[in-house]
Structure 1
Amino acid sequence: MRVVFAGTPAPAVPALQALIDSDRHEVAAVVTRPDAPAGRGRKLVRSPVGALADEHGIEVLTPAKASDPEFLARLREIDPDCCPVVAYGALLREEALAIPRHGWINLHFSLLPAWRGAAPVQAAIRHGDEITGASTFRIVRELDAGPVFGVVTEQIRATDTAGELLERLSISGAGLLVATLDGVEDGSVRAEEQPADGVSYAPKVTVEDAKVDFTAPAAAVDRLIRAVTPEPGAWAWLGEERFKLGPVTITDEQLPPGRIEAEKRRVLVGTGTTAVALGQVQAAGKKRMAATDWARGTRIEQGDKLQ
Structure 2
Amino acid sequence: MTRILFAGTPEVAVQPLHALCEAGGDIEVVGVLTRPDAPQGRGRKLTPSPVKKAALELGLPVIEHKPTSPEFFESLDELKPDMAAVVAYGNLLKQEALDAIAGGWYNLHFSLLPLWRGAAPVQRAIWAGDEITGATVFRIGPGLDDGPILAQSTVTIGEHETSGQLLERLSNDGALLLRSALQGLISGHITPREQEDGVYEHAAKIHPVDARIRFDVPAFATDRQIRACTPEPGAWTVLHNGDEETIKLHVIEAQIDADAQQLEPGVLAVTKKHVWVGTATYPLELLAVKAQGKKQMSAADWARGARLQAGAYCE
Which of 255, 277, 289 is the matching residue for 2:297?
289
Mark the CA change 1:301 to 1:41 in structure 2 (over 3 Å): closer, same or farther: closer
Q: Is the 8 A contact 1:105 1:139 kept in 2?
A: yes
**Residues 107-152 of structure 1: CA deviation (Å, up to 9, x unaligned):** 0000001111111100010110000000000001111111111101
Tell me the distance in 2 between the aligned counterparts of 1:179 and 1:81: 17
Which 10-residue stretch deviates more, 261-270 or 296-305?
296-305
Equivalent position SS for 2:20: helix
Gaps of 5+ in 1: none
Instruction: Give the match for residue 183 of structure 2.
Output: 182
**Kept after mapping to 2: 8 A contact 1:222/1:247:** no
Q: Deviations for 1:45-77, whole angstroms, at most 9, x for unmatched residues?
A: 1111111110111100001x2111121122133
- Asked whether the 8 Å contact 2:216–2:266 carries over to 1, the reply is yes
Alpha-carbon separation, structure 2, partners of 1:185 and 1:37:
39
Partner of 2:288: 280
Partner of 2:34: 32
Aligned match of 1:248: 254
AA paired with 1:271?
T
CA shift at 1:247, angstroms? 2.0
Report the TM-score, using the length of structure 1 for normalisation. 0.97
Amino acid at match of 2:263: L
For 1:97, the aligned partner's letter is L
1:76 and 1:99 in contact (8 A); partners too: no
Q: State how far apart, in whole Å, the 2-side matches of 1:267 and 1:41 are.
A: 34
- Contact 2:109 2:135 survives alignment (8 Å): yes
Structure 2 regions of 5+ residues with no counterpart?
241-245
In the alignment, the residues of structure 2 paired with residue 52 and residue 105 of structure 1 have an alpha-carbon distance, to the nearest angstrom, of 20
CA distance in 2, matches of 1:132, 1:150: 14
Between stretches 249-258 and 27-36, larger displacement belongs to 249-258
Matched-pair contact (CA < 8 Å) for 1:111–1:133: yes
The residue number in structure 1 matching 2:243 is none
- TM superposition shift of 1:42: 2.2
Instruction: Report the Cα offset of residue 304 of structure 1.
Output: 1.6
Q: Indicate the larger mover: 35-44 or 142-151.
A: 35-44
Which residue is 1:266 aligned to?
A: 274
Which residue is 2:112 aligned to?
A: 111
Q: Look up the match of 1:135.
A: 136
| Structural mapping, 1:39-50, within 5 Å | 39-50=41-52
Checking the alignment, whether the CA contact within 8 Å between 1:113 and 1:200 is kept in structure 2 is: no
- Give the CA deviation at 1:198: 5.5
Measured after TM superposition, the shift of residue 44 of structure 1 is 1.6
Q: Quick check: 1:243–1:281 contact (8 Å CA) kept in 2?
A: yes
The normalised TM-score by structure 2 is 0.95
The 5-angstrom pairing of residues 1-307 of structure 1 reads 1-24=2-25, 25-63=27-65, 65-197=66-198, 199-239=200-240, 240-252=246-258, 253=260, 254-307=262-315
The answer to whether the 8 Å contact 2:219/2:279 transfers is: yes
Structure 2: how far apart are the matches of 1:300 and 1:128?
A: 33
Q: Work out the CA distance in 2 between the residues paired with 1:241 and 1:154.
A: 38
The answer on whether the counterparts of 1:248 and 1:277 sit within 8 Å (CA) in structure 2 is: yes
Instruction: Give, in angstroms, the shift of residue 251 of structure 1.
Output: 1.2
Q: Letter of the aligned partner of 1:263 in structure 2?
A: T
Query: Secondary structure at the residue paired with 1:132?
Result: strand
Q: Matched residues in 2 for 1:29 and 1:215: separation?
A: 50
Letter in 1 for 2:293: G
Residue 295 of structure 1 aligns to a residue whose secondary structure is helix
CA distance, structure 1, for counterparts of residue 247 and residue 176 of structure 2:
45
Which has the higher mean CA deviation after the structures are superposed, 69-78 or 82-91?
Answer: 69-78
Deviation at 1:5, TM superposition (A): 0.3
Deviations 1:193-250 (A, max 9, x none): 1111352211111001110010011001111101111111111111221111112111
Question: Matched residues in 1 for 2:250 and 2:103: separation?
Answer: 45
CA RMSD of aligned residues (A): 1.0
